[in-house]
């Protein structure tokens, strides 16, 4: 069966998602990537997942990292999200960060932060599903969440 990949991507864009930044530690450096493929998996044990494009130059760094930190973004993080969504190495230099016990920093003023040990990396099509066991979490800030819908950033109507 032949499928129009652009039309498929557009159809997937009809599902609004939150936006997160995942950070990990390399040799003497921390790096990050913007994701909207984040979800909870289990409460007991506490597990979450996100997906990484296998063609990304950062793929192997994240897949082989011992752990990662997920920062859920608010509308104030739009510029940081855009920066870390572009191709490249994605240094965290110049971004306001919070230290974590695990090592990879969190983004300052995130709506929620999850520190995770990498539990599994599962190849699925052109992506790798990274499953993380949550060690710690916190909610450093309260603001409107950053949302991605139909290929654009948006915000939830907080008056509904």
How many CB atoms are closer than 10 A to CB 45? 9
C-alpha dist (Å) from residue 159 to 70, 130, 146, 154, 155:
27, 35, 16, 15, 12
In a domain, 99, yes or no: yes
Determine the average pLDDT of the residues in 97-125: 95
pLDDT value, residue 10: 83
Position 38 pLDDT exceeds 90: yes
In a domain, 1, yes or no: no
Domain around 69: 18-148
Specify whether the CB–CB gap between 157 and 29 falls below 8 A.
no
Mean pLDDT (the chain, rounded): 90
In a domain, 59, yes or no: yes
What the block records as the tokens of 82 is 């855009």
Bridge partners (DSSP) listed for residue 31: 24, 91
Position 34 pLDDT exceeds 60: yes
Determine the average pLDDT of the residues in 37-61: 94
pLDDT value, residue 12: 79
- The pTM of the full predicted model, rounded to 2 decimals, is 0.92
In a domain, 118, yes or no: yes
pLDDT classification of 1: cutoffs 50, 70, 90: low
Pairing of strands 67-72, 38-43: unpaired
In a domain, 11, yes or no: no
In a domain, 156, yes or no: no
Position 160 pLDDT exceeds 60: no
pLDDT value, residue 6: 87
CA distance 136 to 46: 10
Position 89 pLDDT exceeds 70: no
Specify whether the CB–CB gap between 82 and 97 falls below 8 A.
no
Q: Total domain count for the chain?
A: 1
> To the nearest whole percent, how much of the chain has pLDDT over 90?
64
pLDDT classification of 90: cutoffs 50, 70, 90: confident
C-alpha dist (Å) from residue 81 to 18, 63, 99:
11, 20, 19
Peptide bond into 45 cis (omega under 30): yes
Position 69 pLDDT exceeds 90: yes
Instruction: Between 160 and 121, name the one with better pLDDT.
Output: 121
Residue 43: CATH number of its domain: 2.30.110.10
Determine the average pLDDT of the residues in 63-73: 95
pLDDT value, residue 27: 74
In a domain, 143, yes or no: yes
Specify whether the CB–CB gap between 132 and 116 falls below 8 A.
yes
């Amino acid at each position: 069966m032949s499928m129009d990949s652009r039309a498929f991507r557009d159809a997937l864009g009809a599902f609004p998602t939150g936006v997160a930044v995942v950070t990990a530690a390399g040799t003497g450096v921390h790096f990050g990537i913007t994701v909207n493929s984040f979800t909870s998996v289990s409460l007991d044990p506490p597990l979450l997942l996100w997906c990484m494009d296998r063609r990304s130059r950062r793929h192997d760094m994240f897949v082989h990292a011992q752990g990662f930190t997920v920062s859920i973004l608010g509308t104030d993080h739009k510029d940081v999200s855009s920066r870390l969504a572009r191709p490249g190495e994605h240094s965290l230099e110049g971004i306001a960060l919070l230290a974590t016990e695990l090592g990879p920093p969190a983004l300052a003023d995130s709506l929620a932060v999850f520190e995770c040990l990498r539990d599994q990396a599962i190849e699925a099509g052109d992506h790798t599903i990274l499953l993380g066991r949550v060690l710690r979490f916190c909610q450093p800030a309260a603001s409107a969440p950053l949302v991605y819908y139909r290929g654009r950033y948006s915000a939830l109507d907080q008056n509904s």
